[in-house]
Amino acid sequence: MTKPIYSLVIPIYNEEENITEMYRRLINVTSQLDGEVELILIDDGSRDRSLSMIRELHHCDRRVRYLSFARNFGHQIAVTAGLNFVQGKSIIVMDADLQDPPELILKMIEKWQQGYQVVYAQRISRQKESWLKRLTAYAFYRILQRLANVDIPADTGDFCLMDRQVVDILNAMPERNRYIRGLRAWIGFRQTAIHFERNPRFAGKVKYTFGQSWALAVDGIISFSIVPLRLATYIGLLSAGIALLMILLVLYWRLFDPVSPLIGFTLITIAMLFLGSVQLLCIGILGEYIGRIYEEVKGRPIYTLKETGGFTKTSEPAK
């Protein structure tokens, strides 16, 4: 097989109900492309029939290659692994649940041919997702934009097309805390958006738990901003200001108005609880950063593979 031009990277975690339909729709789209295509499916430690279905696809269609993790490592890591193994010149990342319509790929490729190195899909609406998810997602992307030191476009997920140049840089980034949509924006080059309506899942349940979504959001903010660290300084300055006022006030009460009911327990309790919680909050924020430094310095591999299909030694990434 000659080297593919287009590589599709698709992370899969317990998607047995979606794989067949996804493959059908993808093939429909890729048959309209002018160049060789490879599909890289990453099984993120699925517990259902996903892996055996992927194996089967690989046997029937040699353009399908796959990686299988020894356990579940999470969506961002699955995408990272896929990107490590791609060979194409134009790389498309998409979800397996058909929330990202495969037909959009053609439009992305058009933009790529016009000279954009990154084409990301931006949601203009989310169908059938709970109001809580929509509200939190809306708020999160706006907070991130205010805090981050790079312009990470709002309402974009990982569904995108990247040029080989961009993927090579992404692959060379050593960090294991991978907030891909942020790293992609950080890299630069010519980037453009394509707007789309996010469909509901074809089948199955959302694989991201609330905890995972929360962790991804925190990762996004911590990896791209040190504003939370400065928060301690700002709150410190503020409470020092309040403290100064209070000292003067308390002295005044003590000297000129000794019966004021505010002095005593109430005041002390309020001050203690306030300062105590501010301190804990700041330690917590520090902890988030230190925890990530700890993760980075341990230098463990980002994922462990138990099985691969379709890769020869030369197509594997240099470690």
Q: Which residues bind ligand UDP (CB under 6 A)?
A: 11-13, 15, 44, 72, 74-75, 78, 95-97, 99, 206-208
Between residues 43 and 95, which has the closer beta carbon with respect to Mg ion? 95
Between residues 74 and 310, which has the closer beta carbon with respect to ligand UDP? 74
Between residues 132 and 240, which has the closer beta carbon with respect to Mg ion? 132
Residues 129-148 contacting Mg ion, CB under 5 A: none
Distance CA 263, CA 249 (A): 10
The residue from 15, 16, 38, 97 that contacts Mg ion (CB under 5 A) is 97
β-strand partners of 43? 12, 68
> Pick from 137, 35, 47: which is nearest to 88 by CA?
35
Output the smallest distance, CB 200 to Mg ion, in A.
9
- 43 contributes a contact to Mg ion by CB under 5 A: no
Output the smallest distance, CB 206 to Mg ion, in A.
6
| Part of the chain binding Mg ion (CB under 5 A), chosen from 90-98, 117-125, 244-252, 257-265 | 90-98
- 99 contributes a contact to Mg ion by CB under 5 A: yes
Between residues 97 and 163, which has the closer beta carbon with respect to ligand UDP? 97
Site residues for Mg ion per CB under 5 A: 95, 97, 99
